[in-house]
Amino acid sequence: MSILVFLEHHGNELQKGSLSVLSKAASLGAGDVYGVVAGSGVRELASGAGKYGASKVFVADDPALEAPLPQPRVDVIATLVREQSIDTVLLAQSVLAADVAAGLSARLDAGLNWELVDIEEQDGKLVGTRPALADSVYVQVGWKGEPCIGIFRSGTFDPKETGGEAEVVDTPVQLEDFSTAATMIEQAHEEQQGPSIEDADVIVAGGRGLGGPENFTLVEELAKALGGAVAATRAVVDAGWYPYATQVGQTGKTVSPKLYVACGISGAIQHKVGMQSSSVIVAINKDPNAPIFEYSDLGVVGDVHEVVPKLTELVKQRKRSAS
C-alpha cells in the first residue's frame, strides 16, 4: 500500500490538519506513507513532515502554484498517483482540500469518501469511518477500486511526532491548459486576534443565551483572559451575531481543545458533534435542564451576564498573582 497525504500550507507553515492526517496514515503501518507539498518557495517546508511519519515528501515548487487554487494541485497529485503507483490519497478538510479532492476524484475516476473521522486497515484494505444520519450513527465505508481518496473532518486527530526524517524529492510541475485558466485576483485575510478555533487549546463559545451580538464581548474577554479563541453556535451565526468561520458543529467546524467553555448554549446534538471530544467541557446556562449539562464535566446554572464577567475577573486575578 502507498499512501500520499496532501500537505496544505499557509504562509510558512504546514497546516495542523494535514499533519494530523499524515500521522494517522503513518500509524496504520500499512505500507509507504508520503506527503506532497505544492506551492511557490515551499521546499523548506517539506522536510518538516518527516517527523510526522512521511518517509518521502514530494515537492512541487513553481510560481504557477503560488495562488491556492485547486486545479494545478490536481495536476500535480494526479501525475504523482500515476507515476509513483500511489493507491491512496488522503486530505484534511479545508476549502482548498475539498476542491482538490473533488477534482482528483473526477480526473482519476476514483472513489472519494468524505467527512472521515477514522481509518483502519482490514484484510489489506483501508476502511474509513464517517458519521451519518445527522451524526447520530457511525458507518464504515470502503472503496471499490483504486486509487482511493479520503478527506477527513477537521479537528479529528492531533498531529503526533514520531521523530523520523523524510527524503525530499522535487517533482516536475506540468500543468494542463485548463488548469491555469483561473487566476486569483485578490486574497483577503480575516483579521484575527489570538489562535484560530482549530488550533486553540481553550475555546470560549457563545450561544443565543448571550441575548445579542453586543454581548459577545463577554466571551471575547473571557477568551482573551484564558488565551483562547471564540466560537459560536449556528443559531448565533445564522442571526449574524458572529462570523460563520467560528461556527462549531455538524455544519461548522469540529474542534477538540483542552477546555471548551459553553456560554448560553443549549447543547443541541448538531452542536455537540462538533465539540464533544474536548477534554474538559464547562457549561454556563440558566436552565438546569439544558441538554448541554448532560455531557459537561462542570456545569454552572446561572445567568451568563453575571457568571462570565466574574469568571473573567477571577482568571485575570489568578494571572496577576501568578506573575
Indicate the residue among 107 and 305 with the shorter CB distance to ligand FAD: 305
Contact 17, 94 (CB under 8 A): yes
Q: Any contact of residue 268 with ligand FAD (CB under 6 A)?
A: yes
- The residue within the footprint of ligand FAD, chosen from 20, 23, 250, 278 (CB under 6 A), is 250
Q: Any contact of residue 140 with ligand FAD (CB under 6 A)?
A: no
Q: Any contact of residue 156 with ligand FAD (CB under 6 A)?
A: no
- The residue within the footprint of ligand FAD, chosen from 78, 259, 304, 311 (CB under 6 A), is 304
Residue with C-alpha cell 503526533? 160
> Which of 229, 226, 236, 234 lies closest to 256, judged by CA?
229
- The residue within the footprint of ligand FAD, chosen from 228, 271, 299, 312 (CB under 6 A), is 271
AA letter at 83: E
Q: Any contact of residue 215 with ligand FAD (CB under 6 A)?
A: no
CA distance 134 to 139: 12
Stretch that binds ligand FAD, among 42-50, 94-102, 222-230, 268-276 (CB under 6 A): 268-276
Residue 124: count other Cβ atoms within 10 Å of its Cβ: 8
Omega of the bond leading into 172 within 30 degrees of 0 (cis)? no
In eight-state DSSP terms, residue 4 is E
Q: Any contact of residue 93 with ligand FAD (CB under 6 A)?
A: no
- The residue within the footprint of ligand FAD, chosen from 72, 103, 249, 299 (CB under 6 A), is 249
- The residue within the footprint of ligand FAD, chosen from 285, 296, 299, 312 (CB under 6 A), is 285
Residue 202: count other Cβ atoms within 10 Å of its Cβ: 20
Contact 168, 194 (CB under 8 A): no
Nine-digit cell string for 164: 523520523
Indicate the residue among 148 and 236 with the shorter CB distance to ligand FAD: 236
Stretch that binds ligand FAD, among 29-37, 111-119, 176-184, 250-258 (CB under 6 A): 250-258
CA distance 150 to 90: 5
> In angstroms, how far is the first alpha carbon of the chain from the final one?
53
Stretch that binds ligand FAD, among 55-63, 174-182, 190-198, 297-305 (CB under 6 A): 297-305
Q: Binding residues for ligand FAD, per CB under 6 A?
A: 207-209, 233-236, 247-252, 264-266, 268, 270-271, 274, 284-287, 290, 303-305
